[in-house]
Chains A and B, each alone.
Chain A
């Protein structure tokens, strides 16, 4: 089956620290991979995505590279800000079966302290 595993949070960092949130996946096919972010009291927003192996998605200083050999899509940012405090969800989209439904990880809460 299809599944996504994220590192458990919460993750607490100081401003300007380096961020890594690990994400690994299991998929029967060849999925696309996503990171969504949820700010307090809001819905999920797409942060970045990658649709094939070795693609790098990037946005707002965040990056993630689609690694097929390790089935991973780790999220990184070189210098976090207080405004990055949110919950981050890794997700995959497979293209068989149920016509492309997103499978989400459980989310990782990030708190950035000034």
Chain B
């Protein structure tokens, strides 16, 4: 299996531009997570999908951020307009099942997208 795939790996953009990050989860996984990692705040959960439906988006910082999962094999995280404080590494992770104890509780992470907003 190719694992979780994210694109692009690096993105440099200017303030005010729209940014779209993409994620392909592991085939057969039905839960998908978007995280943001910064030195100041560490690893933060932004949003979590189960069976393509957003379950918890309480971590999405503000209306400039939106995430979609149109099908089981693809998700996007969009920032519009982008700001310098959005600079971070964005990770996508996927998991099979509902996180049952000891069985489907492991999340598998992609390599991340390093976003720099100038």
Contacts and interface: CB of A to CB of B under 8 A. Distances in A.
Interface of A: 32, 34, 36, 41-46, 49, 51-52, 89, 93, 95, 98-102, 104-107
Contacts of A34: 106
Contact of B112 (A43, A49, A98): A43
Interface of B: 4, 33, 42-43, 45, 48, 50, 55-56, 91, 93, 98-99, 101-102, 105-112
A100 B33 CA distance: 11
A49 B106 contact: yes
Contacts of B109: 36, 43-45
Contacts of A98: 48, 55-56
B101 A104 contact: no
20 contacts: A32-B105, A34-B106, A36-B109, A41-B111, A42-B111, A43-B91, A43-B111, A43-B112, A45-B109, A46-B106, A46-B108, A49-B106, A89-B43, A95-B99, A98-B55, A99-B50, A99-B98, A101-B56, A102-B107, A105-B42
